Structure 1
Amino acid sequence: MKKVIFVIGIILLFASCEDVVDVELPETEPRLIVDGLLRVDKSQQFIDVRIRMRETSNFFEDNPPTQVESAVIAYGVPNEFGEFGEFAFSSLTEEEPGTGVYVPDPNFSSDQRIRTASAEPGTVFVLQVTHKEKNYYARTEYAPAVPLDNLQQGDNTLFDENETEVIVTLTDDPDRDNYYVFDFDFGNFQALEDRFFKGQQFQFSYFYDDNLEPGQEVTVSILGANQDFYNYIDLLVEQTMNNGGVFETPVATVRGNVFDITGLDNIDIFDNVERPNDFALGYFAVVQGFSSNLTIQ
């Protein structure tokens, strides 16, 4: 009986020592987040333009949608000096109030949708956004891709017996240096370059950590990429893999290609070399995509 009383006393002692610890997080100025990955399906007449605008928030909160004063995509083929002799543009508007999703303005005086035929190698797309009296600029060249040759489920595992292997096969285009981004569904991405299989058929395995159930369908997409977009996704994947939890300090902020150009008098200086802290988060890219579905066995 004395031992029971002693144990109860110890428990009460530790319970009485518990304090609520308030963690003071640093106050940071909210940044604009641009989710501007435009996937081009050449079988469709128009590009599905949907750009999501958000703003960074406190550490434990979701990033809320935000509204911008204006958003325009200009596109064309630049000359040897990188200048546009002729270009078209698409004016964007918020699809539904409060969503932060911007699409070609259906109420404009002319059709603002971007035809798929406009997306060809050499075509450059420029996104210009005004948000809270700041001007942002992103420039990207259309990146073609190759279709998937085959997609099948494998039987191997890498670290855990609950993993699911998916085997991807593609044939690289021999006429250019290619970079690819793979979207394996559920927010899983992987970057790949053709350095060691240029112009050849290539096969690799991807392992899902999630417990995929038999009968569940996954969609795997191959996206074209330029070297900058490849580097961006590769760094994002690396930081995600090394994440030690919500209190893990990231190695660095993963910067995209959306820059704050407010006050600049030379639009050609779009990478903010002398203004390293003036940028938005996210990325703007226009890429060809091919998708295949696979039912898990």
Structure 2
Amino acid sequence: MQRFVKYNFKHKALTLFSLLLVLFFSSCEDVVTLDLETGETRLVVDAEIIWQKGTTGEVQTIKISKTAPYYNNTTPKVSGAQVRIENSNGDVFTFNETEPGSYVCTNFVPVINMDYKLFVTAEGQSFTAVEKLTSVTPIDRVEQKVVPDFGGEDVIELTFYYKDPVDETNYYLTDYKSDFLIFPEYELTKDELYNGNEINTRFSDEDKIQRELLLILQTAVFLKTSIII
């Protein structure tokens, strides 16, 4: 009889301990909402002109929106804006609104090393920006292999290589796209330590070893002007 009581006491203690653990770990999953300040609403002009290799580059899109509080699920779009780009030859390319906040040009003419000036008029305000269309260094090769990460799990790692031009200050924006990435991932590289040498950039995803990694490396020429006004 004493043995039965002793066992029953241990069983109850173990049950109570397990319940406390469940409550403890459940409390660790509470969502904490920070009380963030909301700043002044500003216009955001995202003008990314990309000439991808093998295309004419005729169709270009510029997006105009407004800043929004951090916890907002949507971004306010700006309609009714006037958007155009002029090159150094005086050619004018007009961007027409196709949907709220999206302005499209279908006859754009990209020319390497030419200057382009952006003009935007929206909600009674006018803005300009100037940039040169420069060529991207071509990718020499891409390698893919399976490697262990810090936790010992296998991950797919992609490495691509390109040669940095000598005696130039260059910045490289790498755009990673895949079917399992909700948004593209970007990486910025400066040639300060690699000037004139081969540069390699790596990408891996520890959660997707069982899925094919689709990486789009855009060997393109592009002009990117992003303004937050």
The answer, yes or no, to whether TM exceeds 0.5 is yes
Post-superposition Cα deviations, 1:133-155, rounded to whole Å, max 9, x if no partner, equal 01122221112112211112122
Secondary structure of the 1:165 match is strand
What's 1:37 paired with? 48
**How many percent identity over aligned positions?**
19
Unaligned runs of 5+ in 1: 8-20, 77-85, 105-111, 230-255, 259-278, 281-297
1:147 has 2:141 as partner: no
Determine if the alignment matches structure 1 residue 196 to structure 2 residue 193: yes
**For residues 57 and 175 of structure 1, what CA distance do their matches in structure 2 show?**
42
| Per-residue deviation, residues 245-277 of structure 1 (Å, max 9, x unmatched) | xxxxxxxxxxx853xxxxxxxxxxxxxxxxxxx
Residue 215 to residue 27, structure 1, CA distance change in 2 (3 Å): closer
Residue 60 of structure 1: aligned partner = 71
Residue ranges of structure 2 left out of the alignment (5+ in a row): 1-11, 17-31
Distance 1:95 1:200, change over 3 A: same
- Cα separation, 2, equivalents of 1:157 and 1:38: 38
Deviation at 1:131, TM superposition (A): 1.3
Distance across 2 between alignment mates of 1:156 and 1:145: 29
Q: How far did residue 115 of structure 1 move?
A: 1.6
| Aligned ranges 1:89-168 → 2 under 5 Å | 89-96=92-99, 98=100, 100-104=101-105, 113-116=107-110, 119-121=111-113, 123-160=114-151, 161=153, 163-168=155-160
State the partner residue of 2:62.
Answer: 51
Matched residue type, 2:82: S
Number of aligned residue pairs: 193
**CA distance change for structure 1 residues 173 and 134 in 2, over 3 Å: closer, same or farther?**
same
Q: Which residue is equivalent to 1:239? A: none
Mapped contact 1:158–1:207 kept (Cα < 8 A): no
Matches within 5 A, 1:14-29: 25-29=36-40
Q: CA–CA distance in 2 between the matches of 1:178 and 1:151?
A: 21
Give, in angstroms, the shift of residue 214 of structure 1.
2.9
1:72 partnered with 2:64:
no
8 Å contact 2:117–2:131 — kept in the other structure? yes
Question: TM-score, structure 2 length as denominator?
Answer: 0.70
Question: How big is each residue's C-alpha offset from its partner over 1:34-65, in whole Å with a ceiling of 9 and x where there is no partner?
Answer: 22222112432334311122212233112132
Give secondary structure in 2 for the equivalent of 1:195: helix
Higher alpha-carbon Rg: 2
Q: Within 2, Cα distance between the matches of 1:28 and 1:53?
A: 18
- Structure number with the higher strand fraction is 2
How far 1:127 sits from its partner (Å)? 1.2
Give the aligned CA root-mean-square deviation in angstroms.
Answer: 3.1
Output one character per residue of 1:122-181: Cα deviation in whole Å (capped at 9) or x when no partner. Answer: x11111111110112222111211221111212234434254311111122336332211
